[in-house]
């Protein structure tokens, strides 16, 4: 144990949020040191990663939707499940190596937050990838717990905490008490589905095909879940479905909100369903403690208000929701000796 601590001083121990959209790495004392899209460019039809693994993250995201015939950019965790183990491994090891650099003296300890919905086989694959990428020890931490730690919730105490983490591919809803998850639900409806709803709306109402990146921009710039004071509009560019030619059109924030209704309702229903299943004593705690929102999807304007209305509970947005999970993994790493026994986070395959 003491030796382990000593080695820890000389190695770049890191906490990793392996997200469906973004992967973040936090290092003790340094905060977030890496924040890149979970995207890998591969040769089309193969899982051969381009340029010796250099086409990962930002470089690869820029290729999404714009790749020439022989290359495709892939999001290997898109739907919260690992669609391709080899590509996920290539991505994870690229990020781990990038952070530890060439200068490491000892191999790092790595805490990886994984969606709670993934299977034992997928967990094993993530674990093995980290070990192969040079981790000295690897710990897996369930994402809702990492989010709760990052948001500063009293998840270890005898009171209920509730976290709703809305990412790109999945929304995870969990109610925790005494360091353990009492009830949780993971659905594959999240930020990506909002983008898709905008794409479908543009196609249906304007005969305009737009790309995923454009749709995401529309969502972030003028999207909302509840009525906002200053309703606005913006220009959207794409390809006309009838003439086949490039064209732009203007859309309003009101129609974007209407387009988002269906996936938003699915997210809200997941939250209320989880609440309906919780023990009465924990439900009583939540009346006091409310709900904490994390993940990039939680940044949609008006979402806290809508969830507050649907549940009758207090809803707060975590500080910097996009980095909440990564910061949680780093805090977990700092307290690992103390917390390991209370949290069922280790490899229990
Ligand atoms: P994951 O953990 O699955 O990687 P993140 O927590 O990184 O996901 O969140 C990514 C999602 O958050 C994407 O769908 C992105 O479009 C969305 N997002 C980021 N910023 C905003 C914003 N300001 N408003 C609405 N959605 C946002
Ligand atoms: Mg996430």
Q: Report CA-CA distances (Å) from 199 to 78, 184, 216, 222, 287.
A: 17, 30, 9, 14, 38
C-beta of 144 in contact with ligand 1 (< 6 A): no
Average pLDDT, the chain: 90
In the structure, what pLDDT confidence band is assigned to residue 343 with cuts at 50, 70 and 90? low
What average pLDDT does the segment 133-148 reach?
92
Q: What are phi and psi of 144, to 5 degrees?
A: -60, -35
C-beta of 172 in contact with ligand 1 (< 6 A): no
Ligand nearest to the CA of 323: 1
Across-strand partners of 251?
Answer: 234
> How many whole angstroms from 14 Cα to the centroid of ligand 2?
17
Q: What is the pLDDT of residue 6?
A: 64
On whether the CB atoms of residues 105 and 10 are closer than 8 A, the answer is yes
In the structure, what pLDDT confidence band is assigned to residue 103 with cuts at 50, 70 and 90? low
Q: What is the pLDDT of residue 164?
A: 98
Q: Which long-range contacts (CB under 8 A, 24 or more apart) does 199-205 make?
A: 200/259, 201/255, 201/256, 201/258, 201/259, 202/236, 202/238, 202/249, 202/251, 203/241, 205/255
What average pLDDT does the segment 159-167 reach?
97
Across-strand partners of 180?
Answer: 177
Tell whether the model's pLDDT for residue 82 goes beyond 60.
Answer: yes
Q: Which residue has the higher pLDDT, 106 or 109?
A: 109
> How many whole angstroms from 17 Cα to the centroid of ligand 2?
7
Ligand nearest to the CA of 61: 1
**CA distance linking residue 42 with residue 61, whole number of Å:** 12
> How many whole angstroms from 317 Cα to the centroid of ligand 2?
14
Grouping H, G, I as helix, E, B as strand and the rest as coil, residue 240 is: strand
Q: What is the pLDDT of residue 38?
A: 95
Q: What is the pLDDT of residue 223?
A: 98
C-beta of 263 in contact with ligand 1 (< 6 A): no
Percent of the chain with pLDDT over 70: 92
Most informative mutation of 168, 172, 196, 317 for ligand 1 (most atoms within 8 A of CB)? 168
> How many whole angstroms from 169 Cα to the centroid of ligand 2?
9
What average pLDDT does the segment 30-57 reach?
85
Helix (H) or strand (E) holding 126: helix 120-132
Ligand nearest to the CA of 318: 1
In the structure, what pLDDT confidence band is assigned to residue 53 with cuts at 50, 70 and 90? low
C-beta of 256 in contact with ligand 1 (< 6 A): no
Closest atom of ligand 1 to CA, residue 216: 16
C-beta of 80 in contact with ligand 1 (< 6 A): no
In the structure, what pLDDT confidence band is assigned to residue 293 with cuts at 50, 70 and 90? very high
Q: What are phi and psi of 153, to 5 degrees?
A: -80, 150
Distance of CA 214 to the CA centre of its chain: 20
In the structure, what pLDDT confidence band is assigned to residue 182 with cuts at 50, 70 and 90? very high
Rounded to the nearest 10 degrees, the angle between the axes of helix 253-277 and helix 191-206 is 140
On whether the CB atoms of residues 325 and 153 are closer than 8 A, the answer is no
Exposed / middle / buried, residue 70 (Cβ in 10 Å: 0-12, 13-18, 19+): exposed
In the structure, what pLDDT confidence band is assigned to residue 333 with cuts at 50, 70 and 90? very high
C-beta of 299 in contact with ligand 1 (< 6 A): yes
Q: What is the pLDDT of residue 345?
A: 47
Q: What is the pLDDT of residue 71?
A: 84
Closest atom of ligand 1 to CA, residue 165: 6
In the structure, what pLDDT confidence band is assigned to residue 102 with cuts at 50, 70 and 90? low
Q: Please choose, from the candidates 85, 92, 5, the residue with its C-alpha nearest in 3D space to the C-alpha of residue 57.
A: 92
C-beta of 33 in contact with ligand 1 (< 6 A): no
Compute the C-alpha angle 112/92/77, nearest 5°: 85
Enter the DSSP assignment of 299.
Answer: G
Ligand nearest to the CA of 114: 2
Q: Which residue has the higher pLDDT, 30 or 203?
A: 203
Q: What are phi and psi of 25, to 5 degrees?
A: -125, 130
> How many whole angstroms from 349 Cα to the centroid of ligand 1?
30
Residues near 80 by beta carbon (within 8 Å), at least 6 away in sequence: 20, 115, 117, 118, 167, 169, 170, 186, 188
Closest atom of ligand 1 to CA, residue 170: 3
Q: What is the pLDDT of residue 201?
A: 98
C-beta of 238 in contact with ligand 1 (< 6 A): no
**CA distance linking residue 345 with residue 219, whole number of Å:** 35
**CA distance linking residue 44 with residue 293, whole number of Å:** 38
Tell whether the model's pLDDT for residue 348 goes beyond 70.
Answer: no
Percent of the chain with pLDDT over 90: 67
What average pLDDT does the segment 91-100 reach?
89
Closest atom of ligand 1 to CA, residue 190: 14
> How many whole angstroms from 191 Cα to the centroid of ligand 1?
6
Task: Give the 3-state secondary structure percentages of the chain, helix then strand then coil, rounded to 5.
Answer: 40, 25, 35
């Amino acid at each position: 144990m003491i030796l382990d601590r000593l080695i820890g001083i000389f190695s770049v121990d890191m906490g990793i949020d392996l997200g469906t959209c973004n992967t973040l790495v936090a290092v003790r004392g340094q905060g977030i040191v890496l924040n890149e899209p979970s995207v890998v460019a591969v040769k089309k039809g193969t899982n051969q990663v381009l340029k010796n693994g250099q086409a990962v993250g930002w470089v690869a995201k820029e290729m999404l939707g714009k790749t020439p015939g022989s290359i495709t950019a892939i999001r290997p965790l898109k739907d919260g499940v690992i669609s391709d183990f080899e590509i996920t491994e290539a991505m994870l090891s690229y990020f781990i190596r990038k952070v530890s650099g060439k200068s490491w003296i000892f191999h790092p300890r790595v805490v990886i937050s994984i969606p709670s919905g993934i299977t034992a086989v997928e967990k094993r694959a993530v674990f093995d990838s980290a070990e192969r990428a040079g981790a000295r020890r690897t710990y897996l931490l369930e994402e809702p717990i990492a989010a709760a730690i990052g948001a500063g919730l009293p998840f270890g105490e005898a009171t209920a905490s509730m976290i709703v983490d809305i990412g790109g591919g999945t929304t995870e809803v969990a109610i925790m008490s005494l360091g353990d998850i009492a009830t949780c639900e993971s659905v594959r409806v999240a930020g990506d589905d909002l983008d898709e709803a905008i794409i479908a709306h543009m196609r249906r109402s304007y005969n305009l095909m737009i790309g995923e990146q454009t749709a995401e921009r529309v969502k972030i710039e003028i999207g909302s879940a509840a009525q906002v004071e200053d309703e606005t509009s913006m220009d959207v560019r794409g390809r006309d479905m009838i003439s086949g030619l490039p064209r732009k059109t203007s859309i309003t924030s009101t129609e974007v909100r209407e387009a988002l209704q269906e996936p938003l309702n699915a997210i809200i229903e997941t939250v209320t369903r989880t609440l309906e299943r919780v023990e009465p004593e924990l439900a009583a705690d939540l009346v006091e403690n409310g709900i904490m929102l994390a993940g990039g999807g939680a940044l949609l304007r008006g979402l806290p208000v809508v969830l507050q209305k649907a549940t009758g509970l207090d809803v707060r947005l975590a500080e910097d929701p996009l980095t909440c999970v990564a910061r949680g993994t780093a805090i977990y790493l700092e307290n690992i000796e103390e917390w390991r026994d209370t949290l069922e986070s280790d490899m229990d395959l």
